[in-house]
Chains A and B, each alone.
Chain A
Amino acid sequence: MAETISTHASHDEHHDPSFIWKYVFSTDHKMIAKQYMFTGMAMGLIGAFMAYAFRMQLAFPGMDVPLFGLVTPAVYNSLVTNHGTIMIFWVAMPVLIAAFGNFLIPLMLGCDDMVFPRINMLSYWIFLLSAVVLLTSFFVPGGAFGGAWTAYPPLSAKAEYSLTPLGSSIWVVAVGLEFIAFLLGGINFVTTAMNSRAPGMRLYDIPIVVWMIVIASILFMASVGPLLAGAAMLFMDQQVGTAFFDPNKGGDPILWQHLFWFFGHPEVYVVLLPALGITADVICTFSRKKLFAYRTVLMTTFATGVLSFTVWAHHQFVAGIDPRMANIFTITTLLISVPIAELCFVYIATLYGGSISLTTPMLWALSFIATFLIGGVTGIFLGASGADIYMHDTYFVLAHFHYTFYPIAIIGTFAGFTYWFPKMFGKMMDERLGKIHFWGSIIPFNAIFIPLFYLGVAGQHRRIFDFSNYPELATPEMQAIRIFATVSLLVMLAFQFVFFYNCIKSWMSKEKAPDNPWKANTLEWVAPTPPPHGNFKELPTVYRGPYEFSHPDRDEDYWPQNEPA
Chain B
Amino acid sequence: MRPIANTRSVSGVPTARLAVWWVIASEIVIFGGILMSYLMHRLAHGLWADYASHTTTWVGALNTFVLLTSSLSAVLAHKCAVNGDGPGAAKRLLITAAGGLIFVVVKSFEWTYEISHGYTITTNTFWSFYYTAAGLHALHVIAGVVIMLIVAAAAKKGRDLHRVEIIGIYWHFVDLVWIFLFPLLYIAK
A and B touch in the complex (CB under 8 A): yes
Question: How far is it, in angstroms, between the C-alpha of A104 and the C-alpha of B15 when the chains are bound?
Answer: 19
Of B29-37, B68-76, B87-95, B157-165, the one contacting chain A is B29-37
Least CB distance, A105 to chain B, in whole angstroms:
9
Does B8 interact with chain A (Cβ within 8 Å)?
A: yes
Whether, in the assembled complex, B146 has its beta carbon less than 8 Å from a beta carbon of chain A, the answer is no
A490→B180 CA distance, assembly (Å): 56
Q: Considering the complex, which residues of chain B in the window 124-155 have a beta carbon less than 8 Å from any beta carbon of chain A?
A: 124-126, 128-129, 132, 136
A229/B41 contact (C-beta < 8 A), A115-B19, A249-B125 known: no
Task: Please tell me if B26 contacts chain A, counting CB pairs below 8 Å.
Answer: yes
Known contacts A114-B3, A195-B15, A251-B125; decide if A223 and B29 are in contact (CB<8 Å). yes
Contact among B23, B122, B136 with A242 in the assembled complex (CB-CB below 8 Å): B122
Contact with A along B46-65 (1 / 0, CB 8 A): 00000000000000000000
The verdict on B9 contacting chain A, using a C-beta distance below 8 Å, is yes
Please determine whether B26 and A230 come into contact, CB atoms closer than 8 angstroms.
no
Q: Is A221 an interface residue (CB 8 A)?
A: yes
Q: Which chain B residue lies CB-closest to A201?
A: B10
- Using A114-B3, A225-B33, A233-B37 as known contacts, say yes or no to A196 and B22 having CB atoms under 8 A apart: no
User: Does B5 belong to the interface (CB within 8 Å)?
Assistant: yes
Evaluate contact between A195 and B18: CB separation under 8 angstroms.
yes
Q: Which residues of A (1-30) have their CB < 8 Å from a CB of B?
A: 3, 6-7, 10, 13
Contact A195 B3 (CB under 8 A): no
Q: With CB as the reference atom, state the residue of chain A lying closest to B41.
A: A250
Partner of A229, one of B18, B33, B121, B122: B33
CB distance from B128 to the nearest CB of A (A): 4
Mark A175-193 against chain B: 1 for CB-CB distance below 8 A, else 0: 0000000010011101110
Q: For the complex, what is the distance from the CA of A187 to the CA of B18, rounded to whole Å?
A: 9
Query: Chain B contact residues (Cβ within 8 angstroms of A): what range?
Result: 35 or more
Chain B residues closer than 8 Å to A228, beta-carbon distance: 30, 33
A472 and B64 CA atoms in complex are apart in Å by 64
Given contacts A225-B32, A229-B33, A233-B34, A112 and B128 within 8 Å (CB-CB): no
How far apart are B113's CB and chain A's nearest CB, in angstroms? 20
Q: A233-B37, A249-B125 are in contact. Are A224 and B29 (CB under 8 A)?
A: yes
Q: For the complex, give the distance between the alpha carbons of A37 and B126 in Å.
A: 44
B32 & A195 in contact (Cβ 8 Å cutoff) = no
The verdict on A241 contacting chain B, using a C-beta distance below 8 Å, is yes
Given the contacts A236-B132, A240-B121, A249-B124, A3 and B33 also touching, CB distance less than 8 Å: no
Q: Smallest Cβ distance from B27 to chain A, in angstroms?
A: 7
CA distance A346 to B121 in the complex (A): 54
Instruction: Assess the A242–B132 pair: CB atoms within 8 A.
Output: yes
B13 CB within 8 Å of chain A: yes
* Residues A112 and B29 in contact in the complex (CB < 8 Å), given A195-B13, A233-B37, A259-B37: no
The residue from B29, B45, B132 contacting A226, defined by CB atoms under 8 A apart: B29
Given contacts A230-B33, A241-B122, is CB(A195)–CB(B25) below 8 Å? no
Complex interface bits, B171-185 against A, C-beta within 8 A gives 1, otherwise 0: 000000000000000
Are B25 and A221 neighbours in the complex by a CB distance under 8 Å? yes
Decide: B30 and A3 in contact? CB cutoff 8 A. no
Instruction: Kindly name the residue among A106, A117, A250 whose own CB sees the greatest number of chain B CB atoms within 10 A.
Output: A250
B116 within 8 A of partner (CB) = no
Nearest residue, chain A, Cβ from B11: A194
Enumerate B74-129 residues with CB–CB distance to A below 8 Å: 121-122, 124-126, 128-129
**CB-based closest 5 A-B pairs:** A225-B29, A226-B33, A229-B33, A113-B3, A225-B30
- Given A187-B23, A226-B36, A229-B31, 8 other A-B residues pairs in contact with their CB atoms under 8 A: A10-B3, A13-B1, A112-B3, A222-B25, A229-B34, A232-B132, A240-B122, A243-B128
30 A-B interface contacts by CB (under 8 A): A7-B4, A111-B5, A111-B8, A112-B4, A113-B3, A115-B5, A115-B19, A187-B22, A187-B26, A190-B22, A194-B10, A195-B5, A195-B8, A195-B11, A221-B29, A222-B25, A222-B26, A225-B30, A225-B31, A225-B33, A226-B32, A232-B136, A233-B37, A236-B132, A240-B122, A242-B128, A244-B125, A244-B129, A251-B41, A262-B33
List residues of B whose CB falls within 8 A of some A CB. Answer: 1, 3-6, 8-11, 13, 15, 18-19, 22-23, 25-34, 36-37, 40-41, 45, 121-122, 124-126, 128-129, 132, 136
